[in-house]
Amino acid sequence: MPVITAVLGDITTQDVDAIVNAANKAMRGGGGVDGAIHACGGPAILRDCIARFPNGLATGDAGWTTAGDLPAWRVIHTVGPNYRAGQRDRSLLEACYRRALDVADELGARSVAFPLISTGVYGWPRADAIAAAIETIAATRTRVAEVRLVASDEAVYKQIRAAIWLQCPPLVGTGTVGSLFEREPIQYSLRGDPYLWRELRARFADTPLPGDWFTLRTLITDTIAQVVGEPLANRESTPWHDSTAAIHLPEFDPGHGMSAGAVHLPWWAHTGVPILLDRYAALRGSEAVQDD
């Protein structure tokens, strides 16, 4: 399985072996990502499209052309389903990612950058489009080592990153703060909390455990405040079961139900952080016994 990362930036500037273009069936350029790739890559891409795809390309299929003036070596074009026009079969969207990786393997590409296919004018719901991209890439047998999911919008980038950490949690080092968080958290509270749990685990994957619990608590609570946008201390007097204290974060919203994306700060103050501190104390206690 390739390493999947979220990137905030411009897909036309990605220094990878191949970038993926969300093309239309005619394969003659268009708007959005398609237009940007043709504009930045120059007329050589269109000439190659005309030569290689005289009859266009079917929805769900993929093919390659030169990258012209782009930093990438090749452009892999794929045609996503038009959700607004009634093409709502998810397997067509999944096929775009699978076929693009097949083409990358044919080319010998080891690094590939994708946009979120079909989420522009084609209108595929973003949360499901992100899930389809990550699930399909993770399940596809490929020799590609690195896949970037590129977003030019920070909110979309955060949503992709959160979904990657949910589906493909990074490894954490022994003796790190991240090691206090299990890979598959028990969902004690609302739907946003497991996302925050995984985000903290990923952020602390390489952070060494501090020498005392106060420093650890400060590190965790400050990071929660940074992610959520509100200090945990503001909710310490709120009962843990008070659902009105939940804060909605769009990047943690998988799109199902009223509590989607809700982070319940009282739970973190009364339960989540104490669990982590208890684990830290138990670890430090076992180390002291070993030292004796």
Per-residue pLDDT at 289 exceeds 90? no
**What total number of domains does the chain contain?**
2
Question: At which of 117, 138, 164 does a domain end?
Answer: 164
Q: Can you give the CATH number for the domain in which 75 is found?
A: 3.40.220.10
Instruction: Give mean pLDDT, residues 131-138.
Output: 97
pLDDT at residue 189 greater than cutoff 70: no
User: Is residue 278 among the annotated active site residues?
Assistant: no
User: Where is 66: in which H helix or E strand?
Assistant: strand 62-66
Is residue 45, in this structure, part of any structural domain at all?
Answer: yes
Domain edge (last residue) among 106, 137, 164: 164
Mean pLDDT of the 102-124 span? 97
What is the predicted pLDDT for the residue at 291? 46
Residue, of 254 and 179, whose pLDDT is higher: 179
Convert the pLDDT of each residue in 155-179 to its tens digit: 999 999 999 998 888 899 999 999 9
Q: What is the mean pLDDT of residues 62-90?
A: 98
Q: What is the pLDDT of residue 285?
A: 82
Establish if 130 belongs to a structural domain.
Answer: yes
> Count of residues for the chain?
292
Question: Do 160 and 72 share a structural domain?
Answer: yes
Query: Quick one: 54 exposed, middle or buried, by C-beta within 10 A (0-12, 13-18, 19+)?
Result: exposed
Q: What percent of the chain has pLDDT over 90?
A: 76
Mark whether 253 and 209 lie in a shared domain: yes
pLDDT in tens, 33-59: 999 999 999 999 999 999 999 999 999
The mean pLDDT value for 86-109 works out to 98
- The domain in which residue 200 lies consists of 177-291
128 and 214 assigned to the same domain: no
Q: Is residue 132 part of a domain?
A: yes
10 Å Cβ neighbour count for 277?
Answer: 16
Give the pLDDT confidence score for residue 192 in this predicted structure. Answer: 85
Give me the catalytic one of 34, 48, 193, 253: 34
93-98 long-range Cβ contacts below 8 angstroms, 24+ apart: 93/60, 93/117, 93/118, 93/124, 93/129, 93/132, 94/132, 94/135, 94/136, 95/60, 95/61, 96/60, 96/62, 97/132, 97/133, 97/136, 97/137, 97/140, 98/136, 98/140
